[in-house]
Amino acid sequence: MKESAMKERKTQGLLVIIAALLAANLFQSAPGLPVARAQGAAQAPSVLRAEGFELVDKTGRVAAQLFLGEDGGGNLRLRSGDGMVRVKLGATPDGSGLILFDKEAEPSVWLAANKSGTSATLAEKGKEKKVLKP
């Protein structure tokens, strides 16, 4: 993947997270009320707490999820416009992982850092999988 495309995907991912947090904050503070606020309104809370967040489009389709895994670790899932999972990022008690999916929603890149070490796995349909370890 080209460096510019990777930077664009990272930027898009960060924007999704920021948008989700902003939307959750607005709707938590004033459910059912218009988003616009008068100047001098109360300050936003310094910490926003929830067990999960979902960013949805106008039709209610989920585009991004920030949630707890079964082990209590944080997880982020990003979906494409057609609803396919394209990115998973997770934290577990023994480390973390990142998975990037191809156009067929098959895992293509796995980055893992855990008790057994660090690795990067690359996969492409019709080709041999490559595992890189330091």
Q: Report pLDDT digits (tens) over 53-96.
A: 999 999 999 999 999 988 989 999 999 989 999 999 999 999 99
Q: Would you state the pLDDT for residue 88?
A: 96
Q: Give dist(CA 20, CA 56) in Å, integer.
A: 9
Contact 93, 82 (CB under 8 A): no
Q: Give dist(CA 65, CA 75) in Å, integer.
A: 8
> What is the CATH number that goes with domain 3-30+51-132?
3.90.930.1
Q: Would you state the pLDDT for residue 46?
A: 86
pLDDT by residue (tens digit) across 18-59? Answer: 666 666 665 555 445 444 555 656 788 888 888 899 999 999
In whole numbers, what is the pLDDT of the chain averaged over residues? 82
